[in-house]
Amino acid sequence: MKTFRKTGVVFLAAAAYVLTSCGGGSNINPDSKMSEVAGEMAGMKTYMIEYKSTVNAPEIKSVTKTVQFVDTENDRYAYFSESESNYMGQKQTDNSLMIMKDGYSYIINLKDKTGFKSKDGELEDDPTDVMMPEDDVTFRQMIEADGGKITGNEIFLGRDCIVVEITQADDSEEPQLTKMWYYKGIMLKMQNSSVTMEAVKFEENANIPADKFEVPADINMSEIPGF
């Protein structure tokens, strides 16, 4: 599914990186420069966010739980994902963990207890690369350059969020409207006709246990050699 791949990869990446800010006592607006946004984000040293995502399309049905632990103060991140899907009658479950810390990334399959370790920069096609704009670019400019528009503000999960709408072609090459809610650079909700991804729990400046950033002891890890 082309549309699902776009939203599942790019927008999950966007949820973990600084894009913009809104509401909640913020001084940032859609026309703020990214350098100003970075300063605004400095006040939120950690956060935990849990998402529920559903896909309801003719060829695939799925439900995914994703929990992100972000510690920007210590430059470490952990992403847990658990999903159930039915693709053209074939049922599948997945359970994965990604940890980034100390200059390394750990990609772990929790089902088969395997994983690999890679030095940052060695993995190809990092989806977050496309999400890092120049400091003097505003969020509005980013959105409009991609064919989208900012429609205003709405409250979601108790936060005052900037709402973005963008139209992209679906698998049938028909136009599909996607709506997104952003708060302090974090996408709290994304919805279109086949995919819904929304935060169900969000803690700013969360007290994250150190073991959330540790590889489980029962995982058989392999290391990708440096290039």
Domain boundaries, the chain: 2-223
In the chain, what percentage of residues exceed pLDDT 70?
76
pLDDT for res 35:
66
Amino acid at position 21, single letter: S
Q: Which strands, in side-by-side order, build the sheet including 60-71?
A: 148-156, 159-169, 175-183, 186-191, 195-204, 46-56, 60-71, 76-87, 90-101, 104-109, 114-119, 220-223
Question: How far apart (Å, rounded) are the C-alpha atoms in residues 20 and 151?
Answer: 15
When comparing pLDDT for 178 and 18, which is higher?
Answer: 178
Amino acid at position 176, single letter: Q
CA distances from residue 112 to 29, 108, 109, 196 in whole angstroms, order as listed:
45, 9, 6, 28
Q: Which of 14-18, 71-75, 130-134, 183-187 has the highest mean pLDDT?
A: 71-75
Mean pLDDT of 168-191: 89
What is the CB-side half-sphere exposure of residue 210 using CA atoms within 13 A?
1
pLDDT for res 200:
98
Alpha helices in 99-170 (DSSP H): 139-145
Question: How far apart (Å, rounded) are the C-alpha atoms in residues 218 and 223?
Answer: 16
Mean pLDDT of 207-222: 97
How many angstroms from the chain centroid is the CA of residue 109?
19
Question: 57, 1 in Cβ contact below 8 A?
Answer: yes
Q: What percentage of the chain's residues is helix, strand, coil (to nearest 5)?
A: 15, 50, 35
Q: Which of 11, 9, 3, 1 is nearest to 198 (CA)?
A: 11
What topology is assigned to 2-223 in CATH?
A: outer membrane lipoprotein receptor (LolB), chain A (2.50.20)
pLDDT tens digits along 94-153: 999 999 999 999 999 999 999 999 998 754 444 444 444 566 788 788 788 888 999 999
Q: How confident is the model at residue 226 (pLDDT cuts 50, 70, 90)?
A: low
When comparing pLDDT for 38 and 103, which is higher?
Answer: 103
Q: Which residues pair with 152 in a beta bridge?
A: 163
When comparing pLDDT for 22 and 137, which is higher?
Answer: 137
Q: How confident is the model at residue 6 (pLDDT cuts 50, 70, 90)?
A: very low
Question: How far apart (Å, rounded) are the C-alpha atoms in residues 144 and 140?
Answer: 6
Q: Which of 34-38, 109-113, 167-171 has the highest mean pLDDT?
A: 109-113
Mean residue pLDDT of the chain comes to 82
Question: How far apart (Å, rounded) are the C-alpha atoms in residues 30 and 22?
Answer: 8
